[in-house]
């Protein structure tokens, strides 16, 4: 399963940041007939590296998901799991990983044709869930999350060889410009920034709270923002955000009373299974990065509850 | 100059937050003939407690101001002054107070009919500068500033008796929804939230970096945002933001590369001079809060440089 493979996207290996062009496609599907997205949406995804689709899930469906989240935030089994990330002070649930395995209802969202169906099309074939989680970002004290490329981490720490991975965020609260929404740098997915600083041991435990390695340098960020600007992924609850694994993203803090929560599914093509991590560290746990063997996801229409 | 006066807006005196209606006018001027603002602008200011006026200063004027700020950020006299607030780590200039006294060019901005002229009209008579400063909010690492009413601090720590004070911020960089712009709660100026927690000694030294006292409680904030929402004061460089002393405001962090800088003038009516601080602490220094005697500001048209 894990074989030695050439490192096509080196990072955290040199004292100065590096910059290279992406060598992988953004949309793998060749035949665009019968696409579940319009031509305009497809070309925006290709150009920007992300796409916001407004109100894909109905208010009634969102209510079902939120009720389940509410229940999970009080469930001792969820709170006690190693896959749960809790607030240092209050102990409140901030993230729960591997929800596609542990939660039957949310596992169906992971297989929904409105989420996975779109990604299977974009990635041109069978996919599986590389990572899933639910996120709570509280109001008043919501912390910022600094710019990063998920692929930089998944490649370096998990050994994910190529850029053939797409994230799908299902917004469960309204995301407004002022309550710390996801921000993305359009076009940044076409470049790969090699970062400075070697991964420390057990980095993942702290990095899920606050990333300190795999951080792009100021000059690269400025150049990319000069080219593409900054976009905020705003939308009503029920909207989804699809973004390429290499699109730089982050979020500012949130002092407003409005919390944000979302479901987050990372889909990877079955031919792109993780190999040995490129930073020489032991692989991260399965609940953060699925290492296989995997079955292709059985995608179809779903109904909730 | 300082006489004992009834505390009409108590705060930091009780164990539970309090909530009272504003007892002062928002616009003091009775005769609205010959107003330097339209009726629509006047009624928005009265209703919301703030007003953004786009591109009041030209790009050429903004360039003159920015050049002066650039010079000041390298001037040893400015950097060494007690009126300068510097970044803990880098030592970079973050704020410089009392610029209307120390800097002849910026003193003219303080007397400009496009800033002070509007406020003199709104406050219905002669005004002076209670506080002035320039602010740099850097890109990448711009910190959040939590919700507060300036009046709560000026009343409690400076002894400013009544709400007859208006701030004018001159934007020197573009303020976008994503780079941590000023946020305000429309309508919040009509209510006064008495805060919990007694002012500690020398509070002002830390409070200019991060406010920890005079912070409204979560329930009051939620109620006010439910009523009025959250507004972001966005605009191109050269725009100005006028806001009432009691309008709740704050800002999220800024991880984008775009810094923000502004000039900030607080105008107070000459009949509303600070009296003895209501928290029993010694008054804050003059560069943070002018205590008089004062001369009415000589307001007129200005040209730059």
Distance from CA of B252 to the nearest CA of A (A): 5
- A144 contacts in B (CB within 8 Å)? 144, 252-253, 255
Instruction: Give the nearest partner residue to B218 out of A140, A176, A252, using CB atoms.
Output: A140
User: Is the pLDDT reported for residue B246 higher than 70?
Assistant: yes
- Give a three-class secondary structure readout of chain A: CCCCCCCCCCCCCECCCEEEECCCCCCCCCCCCCCCCCHHHHHHHHHHCEEEECCCCCHHHHHHHHHHHHHHCCCHHHHHCCCEEECCCCCCEEEEECHHHHCHHHHHHHCECCCHHHHHHHHCCCEEEEEEEEEEECCCCECCEEEECHHHHHHHHHCCCCCCEEEEEEECCCECCCCCCCEECCCHHHEEEECECCCCCCHHHHHCCCCCCCCCCHHHHHHHHHHHCCEECCECCCCEEEEECCCCEEECCECCCCCEEEEEEEEEEHHHCCCCCCCCCCCCCCCCCCCCCCCCCCCECCCCC
* DSSP-derived secondary structure for B243-256: EETT--EEE--B-S
- The answer, for A90 touching chain B at a CB cutoff of 8 Å, is no
In chain B, which among 247-276 make CB contacts under 8 A with chain A?
A: 250-258
B230 touches chain A (CB under 8 A): yes
Q: Is the dihedral of CA B33, B39, B42, B43 positive or negative?
A: positive
CA distance A247 to A48: 8
Q: Is pLDDT of A284 > 60?
A: yes
Q: Residue B258: its chain A contacts at CB < 8 A?
A: 225, 230
* Closest C-alpha among B169, B136, B137 to residue B150: B169
pLDDT at B237 > cutoff 60? yes
Secondary structure of residue B42 in the 3-state scheme: helix
Task: List chain B residues with CB under 8 Å of A176.
Answer: 230
Mean pLDDT of B279-292: 92
Lowest mean pLDDT of A300-304, B194-198, B261-265, name the range.
Answer: B194-198
Tens of pLDDT along B43-76?
A: 999 999 999 999 999 999 999 999 999 999 999 9
Extents of the domains making up chain A? 39-269
Contact yes or no for B211/B36 (Cβ under 8 A)? no
- List, for residues A2-24, the tens digit of each pLDDT value: 456 789 999 999 888 999 999 99
Sheet holding B50-53, edge to edge: B50-53, B240-244, B165-171, B260-269, B127-137, B93-97, B84-86
* Residue contact B255–A254, C-beta within 8 A: no
Comparing A213 with B100, the larger pLDDT belongs to B100
Query: What residues of B are in contact with residue A258 (Cβ under 8 Å)?
Result: 225, 230
Give chain A positions within 8 Å (CB) of B179.
Answer: 230
Distance from CA of A231 to the nearest CA of B (A): 8
What pLDDT, on a 0 to 100 scale, did the predictor assign at position A305? 86
Share of chain B above pLDDT 90, in %: 85
- Mean local confidence (pLDDT), B7-26: 94
> Mutate which of B141, B144, B219, B231 to disrupt the A interface (most A C-beta within 10 Å)?
B144
A252 with B180: Cβ contact below 8 A: yes
CATH match of A39-269 with 3.30.1120.130: no
Kindly determine whether residue B218 and residue A178, on different chains, have CB atoms separated by under 8 Å: no
- Report whether pLDDT(A115) > 60: yes
Cα distance between residue B189 and residue B44, in whole Å: 12
Does residue A147 sit at the B interface (CB-CB below 8 Å)?
yes
Cβ–Cβ gap B257/A140 under 8 Å = no
Does residue A193 contact residue A19 with C-beta atoms inside 8 Å? yes
Q: Which of residues A138 and A46 earns the better pLDDT score?
A: A46
Q: What are the φ/ψ torsions at residue B149 (nearest 5 degrees)?
A: -100, 125
Greater pLDDT, A192 or B199: A192
The dihedrals phi and psi of A268, each to the nearest 5 degrees, come to -120, 145
**CB-based contact B178 A218, cutoff 8 Å:** no
* Averaged pLDDT score across all residues of chain B: 93
Could you report the per-residue pLDDT of A244-275, keeping only the tens digit for each?
Answer: 999 999 999 999 999 999 999 999 999 999 99
The ipTM (two decimal places) reads: 0.90
Whose tokens are 């792009």? That residue is A216
Contacts of A212 (CB under 8 A, 6+ apart): A197, A206
CB contacts, 8 Å: A222 with chain B? 257
> Which of A142, A144, A145, A179 to mutate: most B Cβ within 10 Å?
A144
Residue B221 has pLDDT above 50, yes or no: yes
Residue B109 has pLDDT above 80, yes or no: yes
Q: Quick one: pLDDT at residue A1?
A: 44
pLDDT for residue A238:
98
Residues of B in contact with A147 (CB under 8 A): 255
Q: Are the Cβ atoms of A230 and B140 closer than 8 angstroms?
A: no
Q: Do A176 and B251 touch (CB under 8 A)?
A: no
Q: In the predicted model, what is the mean pLDDT of residues B115-137?
A: 97
Q: What is the pLDDT of residue B5?
A: 79
Average pLDDT over residues B95-106: 96
């Amino acid at each position: 399963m894990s074989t030695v493979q050439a490192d096509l996207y080196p990072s955290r290996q040199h004292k100065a940041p590096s910059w290279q062009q992406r060598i992988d496609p953004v949309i793998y599907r060749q035949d665009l007939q019968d696409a579940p997205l319009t031509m305009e949406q497809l070309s925006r995804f290709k150009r920007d590296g992300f796409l916001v689709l407004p109100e894909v899930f109905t208010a009634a469906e969102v209510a079902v998901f939120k009720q389940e989240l509410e229940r999970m935030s009080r469930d001792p089994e969820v709170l006690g799991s190693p896959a749960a990330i809790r607030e240092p002070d209050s102990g409140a649930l901030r993230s729960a990983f591997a929800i596609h395995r542990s939660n039957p209802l949310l596992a169906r969202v992971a297989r929904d044709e409105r989420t996975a169906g779109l990604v299977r099309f974009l990635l041109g074939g069978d996919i599986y869930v590389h990572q899933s989680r639910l996120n709570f970002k509280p109001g008043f004290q919501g912390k910022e999350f600094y710019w990063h490329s998920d692929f930089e981490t998944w490649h370096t720490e998990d050994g994910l060889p190529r850029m053939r991975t797409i994230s799908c965020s299902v917004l469960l609260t309204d995301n407004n410009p002022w309550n710390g929404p996801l921000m993305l740098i359009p076009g940044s997915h076409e470049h790969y920034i090699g970062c400075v600083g070697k991964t420390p041991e057990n980095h993942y435990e702290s990095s899920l709270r606050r990333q300190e390695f795999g951080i792009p340098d100021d000059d690269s960020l400025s150049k990319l923002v000069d080219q593409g600007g900054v976009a905020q992924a705003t939308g009503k609850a029920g909207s989804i955000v699809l973004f390429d694994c290499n699109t730089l993203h982050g979020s500012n803090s949130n002092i407003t009373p409005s919390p944000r929560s979302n479901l987050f599914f990372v889909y990877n093509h079955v031919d792109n299974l993780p190999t040995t991590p490129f930073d020489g560290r032991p692989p991260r746990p399965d609940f953060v990065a699925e290492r296989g063997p995997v079955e292709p996801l059985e995608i179809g229409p779903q109904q909730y509850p």
